[in-house]
Structure 1
């Protein structure tokens, strides 16, 4: 689907039948949306590309996460979604948490998959901006070969020139989001108690980007949260272990 949301050309991939799920991707679209096929028999999943990411158009006016919150609230209104479930991975988890803190009544259940945003000093993961491009797969997945599939030369990767162009474009879009407060608002932790939704916090125990030790910090602040730690997987937990997708589906089913 293609919609104009507040002047931004927004592309949304849609798959499946059933209760609606809005799924928010992270700070890049490297791993794609193939994971959603495993839920397509149970849910109708809406997979928007954030402004400036993937197939969506640029949005140079964006200067912080709050612009993305307004964008997504307008998006669900344009899609006519009535209390969809909300799922977010990494930066998309931070986005989903802020959405639920501001407008949790607009959503059903909430899944935060290795969310960014809190930045606790005692639980810092690796800064991917300081990692050489060829080394990124070993930080994104515990089993490096899983992440390597999405990088140049991998079985699921686009041609190298397309891959590089996409990363440059998405890096600029991410820079716009980080303009106000970096990766995470300094008061996000204070806001989490406003989230009214039943919440699943899912994390791979070998995540090197966002440490799983953060999970209890999130759960302590969100009133109706539960934690599910997945052994032996990293930041790309759903790509490394398909049982993660089953766990998410079962949770959303209630």
Structure 2
């Protein structure tokens, strides 16, 4: 069943920024990964206790183009400005997935006083050579779904299956657009920052690191590195889940919600 989102529109530094919102309660700002193909329907798993705010990054998803983006610092600035525009009645929790986890790390490190708790779900950004991520550029397109979910049928549901040509064309155009912005975002250091552990050390907020044990994109062996670098963190390993842990094991949202509400 599709989630009935409210759509909020903002002009942030000249970029039309769309926020999909659902639920009521303390706000949770969710930062998505390097594409928006899986959507935001997972947010229903938190909407019974929280107001979940799911913006599309500049140049991604529902938001406008952002030709000025030249690195992660531009995204961090964008979200500081969006927080000003949102003018929330209380400190939000901050939650980031994959590339959005890297983004949340830099954002929370620089503005930790603006957030309550922090949740990092299979975060990118560390680039530890002892725990290498899969090189997406080396993957054949047909192999990508199996790297996104342990149960490949979960990931395949978000991809064209050849029966809807209009959807397939739209899917291709959206990935191309997001890929162009992503390329500029990653130009300085690739999918991460060489000093990310220094950023993590500044996040004194209570933090939860969530990782699927079967993640083939970003190995779960990175999880302890994040937990050790964060001053106040705990780890939630989700058995039998791949990178799309929130879609593959939706019951994980209840455990994240318990952490946020505790």
TM-score band, normalised by shorter chain? over 0.9
Aligned match of 2:199: 191
TM-score (norm: length of structure 2): 0.94
Aligned with 2:119 (options 77, 92, 111): 111
Q: Distance in 2 between matches of 1:156 and 1:87?
A: 33
Provide the C-alpha distance between the structure 1 equivalents of 2:156 and 2:227, rounded to a whole number of angstroms. 32
Deviates more, 1:17-26 or 1:79-88: 79-88
Displacement of 1:88: 0.3
Within the alignment, does 1:149 sit opposite 2:157 as a pair?
A: yes
Looking at structure 2, the residues matched to 39 and 233 of structure 1 have their Cα atoms a distance apart, in angstroms, of 19
CA change 1:232–1:157 in 2 (3 A) is farther
Structure 1 residue 69: Cα displacement: 0.4
Alignment of 1:7 onto 2:14: yes
Helix, strand or coil at the partner of 1:58: coil
2:57 to 50, 63, 76: 50
Q: Note if 1:210 corresponds to 2:235.
A: no
For normalisation by structure 1, the TM-score amounts to 0.97
- 1:237 equivalent to 2:245? Answer yes
Distance in structure 2 (CA, Å) of the matches to 1:105 and 1:8: 25
Q: Secondary structure at the match of 2:137?
A: helix
Correspondence 1:122 to 2:142: no
Q: What CA distance in whole angstroms lies between the structure 2 residues aligned with 1:203 and 1:115?
A: 8
Structure 1 consecutive aligned stretches of length 4 or more whose deviation exceeds 6 Å: 154-158
2:103 corresponds to: 95
Contact 2:227 2:235 in 1 (8 A): yes
- Partner in structure 1 of residue 5 of structure 2: none
CA–CA separation in structure 1 for the residues paired with 2:184 and 2:190: 9
User: Which of 13, 18, 31 is matched with 2:38 structurally?
Assistant: 31
Work out the CA distance in 1 between the residues paired with 2:164 and 2:47. Answer: 20
1:168-200: CA deviation from partner (whole Å, max 9, x where unpaired):
000001011112221111111122111011000
Matching residue within 236, 239, 253 for 1:228: 236
* Partner Cα separation in structure 2 for residue 190 and residue 158 of structure 1: 45
Once residues 50 and 157 of structure 1 are traced to their aligned partners in structure 2, the CA distance between those partners, rounded to angstroms, is: 27
Aligned counterparts of 1:207 and 1:95: Cα–Cα separation in 2: 20
- How far did 1:125 drift? 2.4
What is the count of residue pairs matched by the alignment? 254
- Which residue matches 2:177? 169
Partner SS for 2:228: helix
1:84 alignment counterpart = 92
Give unpaired runs (5+ residues) of structure 1.
none
CA contact (8 A) 1:150 1:157 kept: no
Partner of 2:78: 71
